[in-house]
């Protein structure tokens, strides 16, 4: 019970108490709350925690999406990433980390309302939507309306996943309104993602909402809802991200201060982590082969050469993987420096989301899909440090329907091209989005499943399991979700 209280008592810990909400799905109002610190001091750390999970919290997805594979130096087992095996403790860190992160954003919002700081109200609403979406995408039904209520509700009920999605979409609209308030201001020190730019925060909210809406494309009867919500985005005039949404709290070459991706692979001395992640995780041969076969030079930026000077990878679950440095590791476009900024949402993703919405006829004028597709490829090259000219060359390969959008003639070909290039762009940056597209669309269609003889299911897992903590401290509510299987218990938006 002590753990449960810690997990949901953000307000109590910070001298906040929950108030009543006029909107059943608005968990944001705490009119009677008191505050002991300022939103300016809490927001930077909350953003740091959120962005810190975007790659290092989902390294297993880099394996499942064939970006990385374990080195041949390590024996495979019935419980490793290649086995697809899960227990209720395998990936439980996401649940605890996200709900504690939400406590911080909930505090920021409550305190900002008392202190009349619309910027921080808007930022907190946006980031709560960001985190709740990922919780739904991992677990389906999750506590929402009764979550974050401190000691007043220590066993929160689970809300239907679709209702959570609809609620956070509404909260994003509300957040934009707060950000449009003339008094919405913040300093660069208190906003480590956009330096106090409300226009960038609005574009971020719109891009996040578009992501939420595009998750639902395969749901029957959902098109009219999606189109109506996209119309609301268009109406607010804020547009979508035109820059990478990057977070940097002051990453540096000091213990505990490294960029999370860089620190995951490289020691402070600049050497591979001895016996650690740089030894275990190597490049996936599937990704290298795809880029090489399609004349895509990004493999030279995403990966580094092997000790033999060639680009060669391993295969998830293979018994014949290359040991040690005989296979490629992470490259200069991924591991730039200790102080590199961390990606919350990439510009490439923003463009590819728009391209898909354009293709479906829900956003923009005719031809906008091709423009946004090409912009997405160019943004990916730019992030990795490759030239715009190289992107142009890739995009115009004659007849190549994997890289040249203009070569595609049918809806299915165009959609596959968008998602394929989005998959490349997410490599070693935000693998969660590639996994979500794969679950939603089955694209890229030829992602290979693990070769492990210990594989415990016929397909890449479609979700993770609720943590043991929930079963021990919130048994009635989590038990009402029924028996959960990581291979067959789908997220609500999956076909």
Query: How many beta carbons lie within 10 A of that of residue 329, not counting itself?
Result: 24
Q: What is the pLDDT of residue 299?
A: 98
C-alpha span between 130 and 174 (Å, rounded): 14
pLDDT digits (tens, 9 = 90+) for 303-339: 999 999 999 999 999 999 999 999 999 999 999 999 9
Average pLDDT over residues 137-158: 96
pLDDT category, 6, cuts 50, 70, 90? very low
Q: Could you tell me which residues come within 8 angstroms of residue 75 by beta carbon, excluding any fewer than 6 positions away?
A: none
Q: What is the mean pLDDT of residues 360-388?
A: 97
The two tokens of residue 407 are 């070569």
Check whether 471 has a pLDDT greater than 50.
Answer: yes
Query: Is 85 within 8 Å of 78 (Cβ atoms)?
Result: yes
Q: Residue 15: pLDDT band by 50, 70, 90 thresholds?
A: very low
pLDDT 10s digits, 377-413: 999 999 999 999 999 999 999 999 999 999 999 999 9
Residue 289, C-beta contacts closer than 8 angstroms, at least 6 positions apart: 313
CA separation for the pair 256, 270 (Å, rounded): 15
In tens, the pLDDT along 215-268 reads: 999 999 999 999 999 999 999 999 999 999 999 999 999 888 999 999 999 987
pLDDT for position 19: 32
Is 17 a residue whose pLDDT tops 90? no
In the chain, the largest separation of any two C-alpha atoms, in whole Å, equals 65
* 364 contacts 357 by C-beta, under 8 angstroms: yes
- 95 within 8 A of 466, measured Cβ to Cβ: yes
Is residue 290 within 8 A of residue 311, CB to CB? The reply is no
What is the rounded end-to-end Cα distance, in angstroms, of the chain? 37
Residue 65 CA to residue 166 CA, distance in Å, equals 28
% pLDDT > 70, the chain: 91
DSSP string, 393-434: HHHT-TT-TTT-GGG--SHHHHHHHHHHHHHHHTTTT-HHHH
Rounded CA-CA distance 313/304 in Å is: 10
Q: Is the pLDDT of residue 149 over 80?
A: yes
The CA radius of gyration of the chain, in Å to the nearest whole number, is 22
Query: Chain-centre distance of CA 398, in angstroms?
Result: 33
| Rounded Cα gap, residues 472 and 5, in angstroms | 13
CA 368 from centre of chain: 25
Q: Residue 266 has what DSSP assignment?
A: B
Query: Which residue is listed with tokens 């669309």?
Result: 441
Angle of the 198-214 helix axis to the 118-139 helix axis, nearest 10: 20
Say if residue 25's pLDDT is above 60. Answer: no
CA neighbours within 13 Å on the CB side: how many for 318?
Answer: 21
pLDDT above 90 covers a percentage of the chain that reads 89
Specify the pLDDT at position 468.
97
Q: Answer positive or negative: Cα dihedral of 259, 268, 304, 336.
A: positive
Domains of the chain in start order, with CATH, are 1-58+89-241+467-495 (1.25.40.390)
Q: Which two tokens stand for residue 194?
A: 């956009």
CA–CA distance, 465 with 84 (Å, rounded to integer):
12
Is it the case that residue 82 has pLDDT exceeding 60? yes
Neighbours of 421 (CB within 10 A): 26
425-467 residue pLDDT tens? 999 999 999 999 999 999 999 999 999 999 999 999 999 999 9
Token look-up 């019935």 returns: 78
pLDDT at 33 exceeding the cut of 60: no
State residue 463's pLDDT score.
98
| Average pLDDT of the chain, as a whole number | 92
pLDDT band at 11 (very low <50, low <70, confident <90, very high): very low
Is residue 8 pLDDT above 80, yes or no?
A: no
Note whether 95 and 469 are within 8 A (CB).
yes
The pLDDT confidence band at residue 273, using thresholds 50, 70 and 90, is: low
- How much of the chain is in helix, strand and coil states, percent to nearest 5? 50, 5, 50
């Amino acid at each position: 019970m002590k753990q449960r209280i810690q997990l949901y008592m953000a307000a109590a810990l910070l001298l906040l108490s929950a108030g009543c909400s006029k909107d059943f799905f608005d968990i944001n109002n705490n009119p009677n709350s008191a505050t002991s610190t300022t939103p300016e001091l809490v927001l930077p750390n909350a953003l740091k925690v959120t962005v810190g999970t975007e790659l290092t919290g989902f390294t297993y997805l880099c394996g499942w999406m064939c970006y990385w594979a374990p080195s041949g130096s390590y024996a495979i087992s019935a419980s490793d990433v290649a086995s697809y095996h899960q227990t209720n403790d395998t990936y439980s860190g996401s649940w605890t980390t996200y709900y504690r992160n939400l406590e911080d954003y909930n505090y920021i919002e409550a305190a900002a309302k008392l202190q009349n700081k619309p910027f921080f109200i808007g930022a907190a609403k946006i980031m709560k939507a960001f985190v709740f979406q990922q919780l739904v995408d991992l677990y389906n039904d999750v506590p929402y309306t009764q979550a974050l209520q401190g000691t007043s509700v220590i066993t929160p009920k689970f809300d239907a996943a679709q209702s959570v999605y609809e609620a956070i979409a509404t909260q994003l609209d509300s957040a934009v309104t707060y950000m449009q308030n003339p008094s919405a201001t913040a300093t660069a020190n208190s906003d480590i993602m956009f330096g106090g730019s409300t226009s960038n925060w609005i574009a971020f909210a719109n891009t996040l909402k578009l992501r939420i809406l595009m998750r639902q494309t395969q749901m029957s009867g959902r098109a009219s809802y999606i189109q109506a919500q996209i119309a609301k985005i268009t109406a607010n005039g804020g547009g979508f991200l035109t820059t990478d949404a990057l977070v940097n709290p002051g990453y540096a070459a000091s213990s505990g201060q490294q960029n999370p991706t860089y620190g995951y692979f490289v020691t402070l001395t600049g050497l591979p982590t001895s016996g650690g992640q740089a030894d275990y995780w190597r490049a996936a041969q599937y990704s290298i082969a795809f880029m090489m076969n399609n004349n895509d030079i990004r493999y030279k930026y995403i990966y580094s050469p092997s000790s033999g000077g060639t680009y060669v990878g391993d295969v998830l679950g293979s018994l014949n993987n290359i040991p040690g440095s005989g296979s490629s590791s992470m490259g200069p476009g991924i591991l730039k420096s200790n102080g590199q900024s961390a990606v919350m949402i990439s510009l490439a993703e923003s463009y590819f989301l728009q391209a898909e919405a354009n293709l479906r006829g829900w956003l923009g004028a005719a031809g906008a899909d091709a423009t946004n597709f090409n912009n997405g490829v160019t943004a990916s090259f730019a992030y990795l440090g490759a030239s715009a000219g190289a992107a142009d060359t890739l995009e115009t390969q004659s007849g190549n329907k994997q890289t040249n959008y203009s070569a595609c003639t049918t809806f299915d070909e165009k959609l596959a091209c968008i998602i394929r290039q989005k998959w490349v762009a997410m490599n070693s940056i935000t693998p969660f989005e590639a996994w979500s597209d794969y679950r939603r669309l089955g694209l890229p269609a030829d992602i290979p499943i693990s070769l492990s003889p210990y594989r415990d299911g016929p397909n890449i897992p479609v979700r993770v399991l609720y943590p043991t903590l929930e079963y021990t401290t919130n048994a009635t509510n989590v038990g009402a979700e029924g028996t959960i299987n990581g291979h067959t218990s789908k997220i609500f938006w999956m076909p």
